[in-house]
Chains A and B, each alone.
Chain A
Amino acid sequence: MKARDLVELANRNLREAMLRNSLTTLGIAVGVASLVAMLSLGVGLQNLASERLSRTGLFDAIFVAPQTNLNGFGRPVRPANAPAEPPRPLDEDARHQIEALPEVVEVYPEIRFPTEIRFAGNPYPTVVAGLAPSARSDGAFDGMKGTYFSSPSADEAILQIDFARELSNQPDTLIGQEIVLRYAERQALPADTAGGNSGGGFSIVPREEKLRIVGIVETEPAAGMGGFGRGRLLIPLQVAETLRAAQATDLRDLLRDKPSQRTYESLTVRVKGASQVQGVEDALKQMGFTAFSLLDATRNLRLVFAVFDLLLGIFGSLALVVASLGIINTLVMAILERRREIGVLKALGAADRDVRRLFFVEAGAMGLLGGVFGVLMGWLIGRAINFGTNIYLTRQQLPSITIASVPWWMVAAAIAFSIGVSLAAGIYPASRAARLDPVEALRYE
Chain B
Amino acid sequence: MAPGNQIAIRAEQVTRHYQMGDTLVRAADNVSLSIRAGEFVALLGSSGSGKSTMLNLMAGLDRPTSGAIFAHDRNLAEMSSEELAHHRSHTIGIVFQAFNLLPRMTLEENVELPLRLAEVDRGERTARVREAVERVRLGARLTHRPSELSGGEQQRAALARALVNRPTILLADEPTGNLDSATGDEIMLLLREINESMGMTIVMVTHERPRAERVAHRLILMGDGKIISDGASA
Contacts and interface: CB of A to CB of B under 8 A. Distances in A.
A353 B117 CA distance: 11
B113 A439 contact: no
Interface string A347-365: 1111111100000000000
Contacts of B117: 1, 345, 348-350, 354
B83 to A, nearest CB: 9
Nearest to B109: A12
A439 B18 CA distance: 13
B100 interface: yes
B90 interface: yes
Contact of B102 (A341, A353, A354, A442): A341
Contact of B88 (A1, A349, A439): A349
Contacts of B114: 348-349
Interface string A320-357: 00000000000000000000110111111111111000
Given A351-B82, A442-B100, A346 B61 contact: yes
Contacts of A347: 59, 61, 88, 94, 96, 100
A346 B89 CA distance: 9
A93 interface: no
Contact of A344 (B89, B100, B116, B118): B100
Interface string B93-113: 010100010101100000001
B56 A439 contact: yes
A1 B119 contact: yes
Contact of B86 (A344, A346, A349): A349
A123 B85 CA distance: 100
Nearest to A15: B104
B61 A348 contact: no
Interface residues of B, number: 25
A9 B118 CA distance: 14
A347 B82 CA distance: 12
Interface in A392-445: 438-439, 442
B89 A349 contact: yes
A348 B82 contact: no
Main secondary structure of the interface of B (DSSP, over half): helix
A16 interface: yes
Contacts of B165: 349
B63 to A, nearest CB: 10
Given A9-B116, A351-B81, A352-B85, A340 B56 contact: no
A295 B164 CA distance: 71
Contacts of A12: 104-105
A5 interface: yes
Contacts of A5: 116, 119
Interface in B107-160: 113-114, 116-119
A438 B85 CA distance: 11
Given A354-B117, A439-B56, A346 B85 contact: yes
B193 interface: no
B85 A349 contact: yes
A2 interface: yes
B104 A16 contact: yes
Contacts of A341: 102
B100 A340 contact: yes
B186 interface: no
B128 to A, nearest CB: 14
A343 B96 CA distance: 12
Contacts of A9: 116
Contacts of A354: 85, 117
Contacts of B82: 351-353
Contact of B118 (A349, A353, A439, A442): A349
B213 interface: no
Of the candidates A2, A345, A351, the one having the most CB atoms from chain B within 10 angstroms of its own CB is A351
Interface of B: 56, 59, 61-62, 81-82, 85-86, 88-90, 94, 96, 100, 102, 104-105, 113-114, 116-119, 161, 165
10 contacts: A346-B85, A347-B94, A348-B113, A348-B161, A349-B118, A352-B81, A353-B82, A354-B85, A354-B117, A439-B61
Interface of A: 1-2, 5, 9, 12, 16, 340-341, 343-354, 438-439, 442
Given A347-B96, A349-B89, 7 more contacts: A12-B105, A341-B102, A344-B100, A347-B59, A347-B94, A350-B117, A442-B96
